[in-house]
């Protein structure tokens, strides 16, 4: 019985490994969502081993002045992938249903380039692939390392704990018009990021009573 149990465990383990390996490589031109997330066709991807500043995140430069490091990080990723065919090897799916993948373009590891530029940090929780590159970027004060910043992971945690700037819109108006590095995006109830989106009127964000009203005002629908 013990031998049979061991064999069954081995079969299950092999099946799990093969399930990950069976994911087909993804290739093509990418659209960037933020500094570590992109889309290839219908596939949503999270770059393996890195964590980039969030789209709304701000950092401090060497003089202490604030700057939009989240928007800059996304712009760096756009420059890296612009006009290039990406080849992405899926590793696993995250809790949002995105593929976590290692992507290259023309032989360049995109995740490595983001960390080396100082546009992202090594995501140690999920691997040490880019820790050495991060150390170099930090010592040479590249990108976000030129001044001070909150780790993206901590920034997300603080955003989740912070009450919304505007708890609710006008009666019957439940669509959130958010402004980020990706432009003017509206989120409808039930979408993945709806509960995390905070409406800040001081930044030009607003509530809408219908999707058609949001589109007419120049916002586009969130993809998820």
pLDDT digits (tens, 9 = 90+) for 134-180: 999 999 999 999 999 999 999 888 877 765 555 567 777 889 988 87
Catalytic option among 44, 46, 102, 206? 46
- For residues 133 and 115, is the Cβ–Cβ distance under 8 A? yes
Catalytic option among 54, 102, 134, 206? 54
pLDDT of residue 128: 92
Look at 196 and 51; give whichever has higher pLDDT: 51
pLDDT of residue 160: 74
Cβ atoms < 10 Å from Cβ of 3: 7
pLDDT of residue 179: 85
The yes-or-no answer on residue 160 being catalytic is no
Query: Could you read off the pLDDT of 196-221 as tens digits, one per residue?
Result: 888 888 778 888 899 999 999 888 99
- For residues 98 and 44, is the Cβ–Cβ distance under 8 A? yes
Catalytic option among 24, 39, 92, 98? 98
The yes-or-no answer on residue 98 being catalytic is yes
- For residues 40 and 28, is the Cβ–Cβ distance under 8 A? yes
- For residues 102 and 88, is the Cβ–Cβ distance under 8 A? yes
Query: Could you read off the pLDDT of 67-100 as tens digits, one per residue?
Result: 999 999 999 999 999 999 999 999 999 888 899 9
pLDDT of residue 52: 97
Question: What is the model's pTM?
Answer: 0.65
Q: What percent of the chain has pLDDT over 90?
A: 53
The yes-or-no answer on residue 142 being catalytic is no
- Round the average pLDDT of the chain to a whole number and report it: 85
Q: What percent of the chain has pLDDT over 70?
A: 86
Instruction: Please state, in angstroms and rounded to a whole number, the distance separating the CA atoms of residues 72 and 194.
Output: 24
Mean pLDDT for 58-65 is 91
């Amino acid at each position: 019985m013990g031998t049979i149990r061991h064999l069954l465990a081995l079969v299950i383990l092999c099946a799990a490994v093969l399930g990950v390996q069976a994911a087909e490589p993804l290739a093509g031109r990418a659209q960037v969502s933020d500094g570590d997330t992109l889309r290839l066709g219908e596939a949503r991807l999270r770059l393996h081993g890195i964590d980039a500043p969030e789209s709304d995140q701000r950092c401090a430069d060497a003089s202490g002045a604030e700057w939009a490091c989240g928007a800059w990080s996304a712009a760096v990723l756009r420059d890296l992938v612009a006009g290039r065919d990406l080849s992405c090897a899926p590793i696993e799916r995250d809790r949002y249903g995105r593929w976590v993948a290692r992507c290259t373009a023309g032989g360049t590891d995109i995740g490595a380039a983001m960390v080396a530029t100082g546009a992202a940090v090594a995501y140690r929780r999920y691997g040490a692939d880019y820790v050495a590159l991060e150390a170099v970027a930090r010592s040479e004060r590249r990108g976000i390392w030129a001044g001070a910043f909150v780790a993206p992971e901590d920034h997300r945690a603080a955003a989740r704990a912070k009450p919304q700037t505007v708890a609710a819109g006008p009666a019957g108006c439940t669509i959130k018009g958010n402004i980020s590095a990706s432009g003017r995006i509206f989120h409808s109830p039930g979408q993945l990021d709806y509960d995390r989106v905070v409406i800040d009127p001081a930044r030009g964000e607003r509530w809408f009573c219908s999707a058609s009203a949001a589109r007419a005002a120049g916002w586009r629908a969130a993809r998820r």
